């Protein structure tokens, strides 16, 4: 028997039904005013006063300035900011991170804040994934590095022009396919990672997911239950998932069948898909569709941010020939010690390259904020301020990146910033410990993959990216291979680095721009 819906009540106009509606409306209004009253105790930033004017101010290109303003004024507390989400966010001091990271998902939810899980059906709250990354992928990186490098070499050779003459290349699209192939080699194996159906699904699923998350964010929270599922971007995402699932699920099914017929352990595929399937012994049986969905979640995480970071890196390199020469020299010197092999040890020794990537992420962060969480239950901050249920909470990572008390001359892009810090720290420590220990200690908070309350590019706490070590190795291999085999420059007439595209708190490299590439002579 079907339940009574909202339109039925309006049509019948029964006294009881109307009473229920009135009580319900009053309840919602009471909650709204209560939340607003609590938020009013938290100071706001910006010059505009009305909700819509503040939102327009945020979207006018000044969002990052607003975060910096709030960070400077309320560095040790919290402030409010109206964002593109159609609701206010509360931005908190990084000093509170150690306290906030201890709160469980049912109090502070990453999924509800960042992924709009309720409407997109996307979730990262899948214990199988971080467990498998931490226990299967990360410990295997030394063993897997030759396989990763093999795919990097193949992908670059097939995507970059193979000519000694200069060719104009739209680099973002090329890098997306290189990253998709390389990560796919580890995620789904050598046969599938080069399949055009897989590549199309992997690259475009990432784009569609981003569009769907943003589309839901633009809908008023009160209207999302009615409109979000109808948004064209959300419908397109669900269609893309179905396409990807149609491709991946038969692979999962075939592997299950092979296991049932007594497949030898040594003959099992050595990839993430298989590790996810094997993890069911610990986390319980999952359907083929669920395993397929897990794989797509990994694909999004692997391709989206890595491609953007690499595009930013290539744009900076193309406009700075001296930097290319400096990093190429380091790669060649390190490889001279490893007989030309880009080993795991070689990657660790490329500390100038590591510094360059960390500076790219500091100077060109993809978001002005980090540690986005939705408050599911009221949260009291260490300073006594209370954040009510339903509010999005975040940390102003861009403002932290440009804090001169943390980074000297933060407005200057210094590719060797963290290299110099590490060298200075290492020299100071050598009098107190062995050279090996001094080197290891100097990497703390200064390495590309480091996370901390002043280094938030890979997140923080239990939701810090568990695949960041794989991503760091992958990016270094792509850049090192490029330095060894190719020259880069800007197109004729272009003398400045391309500006990133900004929208609200988001900033991405312009995917339509080109650079010049040629084989080294």
Quick one: which of 472, 180, 458, 440 has its CA closest to 347? Answer: 472
pLDDT band at 428 (very low <50, low <70, confident <90, very high): confident
Who's near 458: CB < 8 A, 6+ residues apart? 449, 451, 464, 465, 468
- CATH numbers and ranges of domains, the chain: 19-114+386-403 (no CATH), 115-365+404-453+457-519 (1.10.630.10)
- Percent residues over pLDDT 90 in the chain: 55
pLDDT reported for residue 88: 85
User: φ and ψ at 109, to 5 degrees?
Assistant: -105, 120
pLDDT reported for residue 352: 98
Q: What is the pTM of this model?
A: 0.87
Q: Using an 8 Å Cβ cutoff, are 180 and 199 in contact?
A: yes
Q: Using an 8 Å Cβ cutoff, are 123 and 117 in contact?
A: yes
pLDDT band at 302 (very low <50, low <70, confident <90, very high): confident
Q: Is 107 exposed, middle or buried (0-12, 13-18, 19+ CB in 10 A)?
A: middle
**pLDDT tens digits for range 181-204:** 999 999 999 989 999 988 988 888
Q: At what angle do helices 196-218 and 232-260 cross, to 10 degrees?
A: 140
pLDDT band at 438 (very low <50, low <70, confident <90, very high): low
Distance between CA 435 and CA 134 in Å, rounded?
29
For the cut 70, the answer to whether the pLDDT of residue 18 exceeds it is no
- Tokens found for residue 263: 């497949």
pLDDT reported for residue 38: 66
CA dihedral 132, 135, 138, 141 (to 10 degrees): -100
pLDDT band at 260 (very low <50, low <70, confident <90, very high): confident
For the cut 90, the answer to whether the pLDDT of residue 457 exceeds it is yes
pLDDT band at 288 (very low <50, low <70, confident <90, very high): confident
Distance between CA 509 and CA 521 in Å, rounded?
29
* CB crowding 130-168: b at 16 or more within 10 Å, else e: bbbbeebbeeebeebbebbbebbbbbbeebbbeeeebee
- Range with the largest mean pLDDT of 5-9, 92-96, 188-192, 429-433: 92-96
* CB crowding 419-450: b at 16 or more within 10 Å, else e: bebbbebbeebeeeeeeeebbeebbeebbbbb
Distance between CA 303 and CA 517 in Å, rounded?
22
Tell whether 193 is in a known binding site.
Answer: no
């Amino acid at each position: 028997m079907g339940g009574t819906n909202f339109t039925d009540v309006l049509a019948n106009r029964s006294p009881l039904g109307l009473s229920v509606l009135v009580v319900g409306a009053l309840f919602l209004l009471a909650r709204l005013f209560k939340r607003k009253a609590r938020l009013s105790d938290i100071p706001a930033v910006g010059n505009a006063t009305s909700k819509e004017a503040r939102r327009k101010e945020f979207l006018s290109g000044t969002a990052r300035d607003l975060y910096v303003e709030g960070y400077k004024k309320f560095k040790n507390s919290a402030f409010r900011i109206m964002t593109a989400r159609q609701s206010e966010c509360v931005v908190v001091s990084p000093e509170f991170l150690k306290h906030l990271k201890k709160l469980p998902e049912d109090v502070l939810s990453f999924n509800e804040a960042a992924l709009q899980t309720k409407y997109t059906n996307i979730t990262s709250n899948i214990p199988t994934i971080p467990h498998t990354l931490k226990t299967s992928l990360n410990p295997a990186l030394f063993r897997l590095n030759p396989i990763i490098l093999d795919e990097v070499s193949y992908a670059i050779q097939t995507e970059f022009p193979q000519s000694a003459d200069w060719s104009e290349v739209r680099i973002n699209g090329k890098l997306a396919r290189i990253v998709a192939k390389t990560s796919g080699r580890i995620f789904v194996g050598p046969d599938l990672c080069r399949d055009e159906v897989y590549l199309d699904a992997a690259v475009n699923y990432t784009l569609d997911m981003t569009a769907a998350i943003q589309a839901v964010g633009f809908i008023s929270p009160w209207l999302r239950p009615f409109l979000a599922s109808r948004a064209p971007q959300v419908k397109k995402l669900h269609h893309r998932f179905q396409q990807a699932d149609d491709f991946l699920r038969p692979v999962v099914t075939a592997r299950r069948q092979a296991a049932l017929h007594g497949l030898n352990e040594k003959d099992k595929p050595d990839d993430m898909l298989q590790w996810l399937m094997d993890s069911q012994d610990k986390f319980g049986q999952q359907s083929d569709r669920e395993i397929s969905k897990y794989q797509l979640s990994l694909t999004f995480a692997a391709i989206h941010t890595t491609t953007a970071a690499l595009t930013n890196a290539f744009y900076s390199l193309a406009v700075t020939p001296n930097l290319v020469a400096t990093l190429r020299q380091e790669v060649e010197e390190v490889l001279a010690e490893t007989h030309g092999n880009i080993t795991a040890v070689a990657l660790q020794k490329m500390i100038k390259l590591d510094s360059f990537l960390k500076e790219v992420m500091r100077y060109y962060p993809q978001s002005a904020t980090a540690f986005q969480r939705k408050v599911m239950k009221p949260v009291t901050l260490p300073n006594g301020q209370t954040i009510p249920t339903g509010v999005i909470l975040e940390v102003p990572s861009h403002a932290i990146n440009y804090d001169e008390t943390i980074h000297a001359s933060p407005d200057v892009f210094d590719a060797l910033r963290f290299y110099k810090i590490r060298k200075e720290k290492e020299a100071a420590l050598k009098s107190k410990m062995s050279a090996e220990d001094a080197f290891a200690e100097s990497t703390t908070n200064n390495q590309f993959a480091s996370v901390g309350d002043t280094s938030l590019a890979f997140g923080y706490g239990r939701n810090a990216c568990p695949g960041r070590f794989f991503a760091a190795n992958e990016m270094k291999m792509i850049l090192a291979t490029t330095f060894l085999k190719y020259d880069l420059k800007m197109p004729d007439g272009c003398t400045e680095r391309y500006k990133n595209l900004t929208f609200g708190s988001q900033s991405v490299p312009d995917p339509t721009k080109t650079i010049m590439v040629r084989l080294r002579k």
